[in-house]
Amino acid sequence: IEMAPGTCETAIAYPEIIANDNCEVTLTQTAGLGKDGMFPIGTTTETWTASDVDGNSTSISFDVTISTSNAKPTVNAINDIQVLEDTYSALVLVTGITGGNDCVSQDVTVELSSTNPELVTSATITYATSDSTASIQFDFAAEHSGESEVTVLVIDSENDSITESFKVFVTAVNDAPVL
């Protein structure tokens, strides 16, 4: 059974187990979760044994396999930022970072790119794998104005990814003339 991402267990349409013999038969489940079980992701082996009053027995086993697809990682939207050209650095928080709504915890990596290296001279992202927030430290070129599009890339353990982009605007300042 293929489950939606984030669904970690499910009930199943359990098969009816029937045993026939020429005398009384007792059915016993010897492994597995049974018809009322909630089956987790992975493979569960179900085993039933039929025994008669004369001590004869036979067993049947079958596997129940539950799988799911990977959920995309997440990151919250990031607002554009605007600074004056006399501002040489800025700190931006990136929130809502997760490995997705998966049943198994995933590690994520966070990467960063900028379209205007003449304006944004450096952008350093600080992120610890288990956190949901990262910080970006921007350094801007002195006496430069303009804009740069910044893209944050979040990649999970299964190489699924999501991007979030925002703009950095550095506004020119009318400096007083030098006499």
Predicted local distance difference test score (pLDDT) of residue 148:
96
Predicted local distance difference test score (pLDDT) of residue 175:
62
pTM of the predicted model, to two decimals? 0.74
Predicted local distance difference test score (pLDDT) of residue 179:
59
pLDDT in tens, the chain (179 residues): 999 998 999 999 999 999 988 889 999 999 999 999 999 999 999 999 999 999 999 999 999 999 998 899 999 999 999 999 888 999 999 999 998 888 888 889 999 999 999 999 999 999 998 889 999 999 999 888 999 999 999 999 999 999 999 999 999 987 655 55
Predicted local distance difference test score (pLDDT) of residue 101:
84
Predicted local distance difference test score (pLDDT) of residue 95:
96
CA distances from 86 to 92, 99, 115, 141, 172 (A): 17, 38, 21, 9, 8
Predicted local distance difference test score (pLDDT) of residue 65:
97
CA distance 104 to 101: 9
